[in-house]
Structure 1
Amino acid sequence: MGSEQDVNTQIVATVNKVQEATLSGNVIKASGTGKAFQSISQSSAIAVQDATDNLRNINTMATTAMGVALSQMLATGLTEPYAEILKEVNTLVIQSTTNFTSVGSGASKVLEDFSKGL
């Protein structure tokens, strides 16, 4: 076992080809870019999910507030301050919807801009 054995040249060539195919700059760059894109996609999806949850929660609270205000209007026969409350709640829903749209559009733009830079 003290003697050196030559390695088959085909094995050496194969190992070199595998290293070239997996460790070249282009492959490493493409792999890194793919991982970055996946991370940005996931973060964008989470942002949209959070905005969806926020919109759902705002709508639940708004529906409850509107129901209470309408109930008080009917019970008391008064329109004020309940009409103002309904107006403010409606404004809150509109702002929440605008926020949701902004988050979705922003997330989409981030992904689109990242894809263009690939």
Structure 2
Amino acid sequence: MSKHRIFTMSFANLYPMYLNKAERKNRSKAEVNEIIYWLTGYDEAGLQQQLAQKNDVETFFAQAPKLHANTSLIKGVVCGVRVEDVEDPLMQKIRYLDKLVDELAKGKAMEKILRQ
């Protein structure tokens, strides 16, 4: 079976889509980055390196320093799919990031988005 198309997409191509979604709702690039740092363990330098290398989404998550311990608290529906029920581990990580950016765009407070 072939890989899902998003797995092979460059994270550098996906990242501006997250930014656009947030910025259309008057949220900032810094907030999107904070979500990515929280979820993946990347810091600014690590994220910029991933973007510069144009690594695919699969590599982006495979090289992530450490997925946050509270990811199990991310619940809800993204694109009609309940994130906690996604069976493929990589797709679930992608859906987690989608869900967090969706919550940001919907105006949720960062403390709630970051499950603090």
User: Which structure: greater helix fraction?
Assistant: 1
TM range (shorter): under 0.3
TM-score w.r.t. structure 2 length?
A: 0.27
TM-score (norm 1): 0.26
